[in-house]
A and B are shown apart, each in its own frame.
Chain A
Amino acid sequence: MELVMALAIGILFTIGVYLILTKSLLRIVLGTSLLTHGVHLLLLTMAGLKNGAAPVLGKEGNYVDPLPQALILTSIVISFGVTAFFFVLAYRSYQTLGTDEIDSIKEVKE
C-alpha cells in the first residue's frame, strides 16, 4: 500500500509542477491545487497508513494515529480558501488585463 501511495504522490507532484510551469494562469491554479493534494497524501502516508483499530473508541491494543487526519483536515481547509482566492484573482486579472497568459501579464506596465 505504501508503494501505491508513494507512486500516487509522485505523479501528483509531477503533474502539479508541470502545470505550474505552464503559461496559462488557470492551469497554474490547477497545478497548485494538485500539488497540495499530493502533499496531503504525503502527510497521510508519512504518519503511517491504517494498521490497527479505529482510535478513541477505547478498544484494547493497537490503533491508528488520529493526529494526521486532523492535520490534513486543517490543511485542506486552508488550501481550499487559498485556491478560491487564486481563482478569483485569476478571473479578475483576466477581466482587467484581458489575458490569462502569464507572459503577457509580465509586460503590462502600470
Chain B
Amino acid sequence: MNNLLVLPILIPLCTAVILIFFKEKLQLQRGISTVSGMLTILITLLLVSRAHNEGILTLQMGGWAPPYGIVFAGDMFALLLVAAASIVSFAILLYSFSSIGEKRERYYYYTFFHFLQVGVYGSFLTGDIFNLFVFFEVMLISSYALISLGGTRLQLRETSKYLLINIVSSTLFVAAVAYLYAAVGTLNMAHLSQRIAEAGQGGVLNVIAVLFLIVFSLKAGLLLFFWLPGSYSAPPSAIRALFGALLTKVGLYAIIRTFTLMFVNDSGLTHNLIAWMAAVTMILGSLGAVAYKDIPRIFNYNIIISVGFVALGVAAGTEDSLNGAVFYLLHDILAKGLLFILGGLIISAAGTDRLGGMGGMIKKYPLIGWMFFILALALVGIPPLSGFAGKLLIIRGALDAGMLTLSLIGLGSSFMVLYSLIKVFRLAFWGSEPEKEQPAVSLKGASAVAAGLLLLIIAMGIGADTLNAYVSQASDVLSSPAQYIQAIMKE
C-alpha cells in the first residue's frame, strides 16, 4: 500500500478544477499551473526513487484486496513513463504561455491541459483493464476539447474525424472488455494474466487479443494511423506538441502492457502480427515523412515511424529489445515534445508552415537552428545522444529473435528520419531568405524552455548507464510478468 501513488492523478485533477474558477485571471492561471506542474514532477521523481528501492508500489482503492477492488500499480515502467510525461508536459506548459494566445487561455486551455494529464497518468498507473478504458476516455475527451479549441474551419473538420475514429475504437474497447470478462471472469490485469495462462490462450482468447490489438493500434497509430497526420496538424503547435509527445505513447503503453503481461502464451500469432504491423507502419511513415513539404505533416509522420519502431521492440520480445523499447519510449516522449516545440518556434519565426516559404533563418535564429540540428541527430540515434541506446538495444534484440528483415526496415526508417529532418533544417535554416518580410517575433522564453529539454536529452544520452539501472528494472518486470502478478496479488 502506498498512498503517494494517487498523487500524480490527484494534483492535476484538483488544479484543473481550481482553474475553472479563475477564467479571467490569466496570470493566476499560469501561476497555479506552473506550481502544479513542478509539484507533479517532484512527486513522480520521489515515486521513481521509491520504486527503485522497494520494488513495485501498489495501492488498493478503499482497501479492497485484488481481484475484487481497483488496484493502482506503479511498477518502474509505468512510473518512468509518468516521470517523463510530467517533465515534458511541464515544458510544453511553459511554452504555451508565450504561444497559445490569450483567447484560448480564457477558454479553459489550462483546465483541459490538466485534465489531459489526469487521463495520461491514470492510464499509466492503473492495474485494471476497465479503468484503463475510463482513463483513456478522460484523456480523449480532453483531447477533443483541445483539438477543437479555437474553432477554425480546419480544426472543426479534423475534430469530427478524430472524434468519430476514437468513438468507434472506444466502442470496440468496451466490446473487447466484455468478451474478456465473459471468457475469464476478471478485470484485474494481474489476475487476468494468471487466468489466461491457466486457460491456455486458445482460439477465443486469441480473437480477444487481436481485438485489443486493433483498439490500441488505433489509439497509438500503429498501422491504423490514417487519421493521425491530419488531426495532429489542426491545433496550434503547443497542443500539437502535447499530443505528439503523449497521446500515441499511451496507446503504445497499453500495447506493451497487454502483450507482455496478459497475452503472452501464443506469441507466434500475436507477436508476429505486431511485428508485421510495425514493419508496414515504419515503411508507410517513412514514405509520408519524405513526401510532404510542410512542417506539421513531416513531424507527424515522424511520430508514426517511432511508434512502429517501439512496436518492433515489443514484437521481438527478448530481454534486450524490451529494455530498448522502454529506453526508446522515454527518449521519444522528451524528443518528440521538443521537436514540436522547435517546429512551433520555426513556424512562428517564418510566419508559415510551408518549407517553400522559408530560408536563411540561421542568421537570425542561430540557437534554434543548432538545437534543431542536435535534436535531429538525437532522433536518428547518433551515439552520445539519447536515441542511441534504445535503438541499439531494440535492433540487437530483434536480431537475436531472428528478425533480420524487420531490423533492416527499422534501420532504414532511421535514415528516412534523418533525411526528412535534415530536409527541414536545410530548407528552413540555409539558403537565401525569402522576399517576403518575416514577422519580428521574440522567442527568448520559448527558446530557453527548448534548451532545457535539449540539455535533458543530452544528459539522458550521456548518463545512459545510470538511467539503465532504472530502465532495466522496468524491463525486468515486462519480461517476467510473475513479478508483477506477485506484487499485486500478494495481500
Contacts and interface: CB of A to CB of B under 8 A. Distances in A.
Given A74-B130, A74-B134, A108-B153, A89 B178 contact: no
Main DSSP-derived SS at the B contact region: helix
Given A74-B134, A82-B137, A43 B178 contact: yes
Given A82-B137, A85-B144, A92 B154 contact: no
Among B159, B163, B178, chain A packs the most CB atoms within 10 A around the CB of B178
A93 interface: yes
B489 interface: no
Contacts of B130: 71, 74
Interface residues of B, number: 30
Nearest to A35: B171
Contact of A105 (B137, B160, B178): B160
B168 A32 contact: yes
The residue in A36, A43, A81 that gathers the most chain B C-beta atoms within 10 A of its C-beta is: A43
Contact of B182 (A20, A46, A75, A86): A46
Given A47-B181, A82-B141, A39 B160 contact: no
Contact of B174 (A43, A47, A85): A43
A56 to B, nearest CB: 13
Interface in B150-195: 151-154, 156-157, 159-160, 163-164, 167-168, 170-171, 174-175, 177-179, 181-182, 187
B178 A42 contact: yes
Report, as a range, how many residues of chain A touch the other chain.
35 or more
A89 B163 contact: yes
B206 interface: no
Contacts of A46: 178-179, 181-182
A25 B157 contact: no
B148 interface: yes
A42 to B, nearest CB: 5
B168 A20 contact: yes
B178 A110 contact: no
Contacts of A35: 167-168, 171
Interface of B: 130, 133-134, 137, 141, 144-145, 148, 151-154, 156-157, 159-160, 163-164, 167-168, 170-171, 174-175, 177-179, 181-182, 187
Minimum-distance CB pairs A-B, first 4: A46-B182, A43-B178, A46-B178, A110-B154
